[in-house]
Structure 1
Amino acid sequence: MSLNHVTLVGRVGGDPDVKYFESGSVVCNLTLAVNRQSRNNEQPDWFNLELWGKQAEVAANYVRKGSQIGISGALKFEHWKDRSTGASRSKPVIRVERLELLGSKRDQEASAGSTPDDEF
């Protein structure tokens, strides 16, 4: 038996990089920072995310730098040759199968400053 499943919750490191293809396909690339607890402080681990189709469109329309999201997907490795040195390179990428929008820093700051009278 084999299993390749990744689940993460973190904050988006930059605005989505979206590409539309003539075939009608759409891909969105994001970085995700997930805090890792250590003895002295929290250290972020950075993950590269790849979203396709409807998930990519949702990310393009609603996700911005600082947004908190939850994802689940599968880990893959991209391989290429470095143009200047010819050396083989690779990087891990998470192919997102499920995206959950959890809010932005502004949403949390606004709700932290609200009182029961502010709610409708």
Structure 2
Amino acid sequence: MSIQIIGLARIGKDAELRHTNGGEAVANLALAFNYGRKGDDGRLPTQWVDATLWGKRAEALAPYLTKGTQVFVTIGDAHIETYESATRTGSKLVGRVTEIDLAGGGQRQEAPQASRAPQRQQQQPEPDGFEDSQIPF
């Protein structure tokens, strides 16, 4: 039985895009899902999920998956993994993103420079024969 997580989440840190040895793109995402009732501090509890987004979608969306951005996401094959670090042992919820849609709510970011067409306009001479580049101020 495969467990899915479906819902609205916020990106916890900018997506980390890397490539496998075989050349396939993969983006690591830290997703924060709020749930339940507000606590005494007025905040909703948060469940963090470490998820991966693969392939061309990872390459195309990584520049837009920045900290604070809201996404509507479906995570398939959700499971708990245990880990050990130098300071502690713990567990985390992980899965693979199967569907993702930007829902807004983060900082707006323009498309990467390489994918935008140059927007250079040729200057037209002024009617008096001077160009803007000839004016010293």
Measured against aligned partners, the alpha-carbon deviations of 1:81-101 in whole angstroms (never above 9, x if no partner) come to x4759xx86532121011111
How far residue 38 of structure 1 moved from its aligned partner, in angstroms, is 3.0
Name the structure 1 match of 2:19: 20
Contact 1:55-1:99 at 8 Å conserved across structures = no
Call closer, same or farther: CA 1:35–1:22 in 2, change over 3 Å.
same
Deviation of the 1:39 alpha carbon: 4.5
What is the DSSP-based 3-state SS (H/G/I as helix, E as strand, rest coil) of the residue aligned with 1:61? helix
Partner of 2:38: 38
Decide whether aligned partners of structure 1 residues 84 and 44 sit closer, same or farther in structure 2, where only a CA change above 3 A counts.
closer
The residue number in structure 2 matching 1:115 is none
Q: Is the 8 A contact 1:19 1:27 kept in 2?
A: yes
What amino acid maps onto 1:56 in structure 2? A
Cα separation, partners in 2 of 1:38 and 1:63, compared to 1, 3 Å: same
Could you tell me which residue of structure 2 aligns to residue 76 of structure 1? 79
1:67–1:102 contact (8 Å) kept in structure 2: yes
Match of 1:103 in 2: 104
- With normalisation by structure 2, the TM-score equals 0.62
Aligned to 1:64: 66
Q: Which has the larger radius of gyration?
A: 2
Classify the secondary structure of the residue corresponding to 1:105. coil
1:25-65 superposed Cα distances (whole Å, 9 cap, x missing partner): 01111111122223533122211111111231233122111
1:104 Cα deviation from its structure 2 partner: 2.9
Identify, as 1 or 2, the structure richer in helix. Answer: 1
Which segment drifts farther, 47-56 or 10-19?
47-56
For the residue of structure 1 that corresponds to 2:32, the secondary structure is strand
Distance 2:58 2:74 in 1: 14
Aligned to 1:47: 49
More strand by share: 1
Q: CA deviation at 1:79?
A: 5.6
Structure 1 residue runs of 5 or longer lacking an equivalent are 108-120
Give 1:105 shift: 3.2
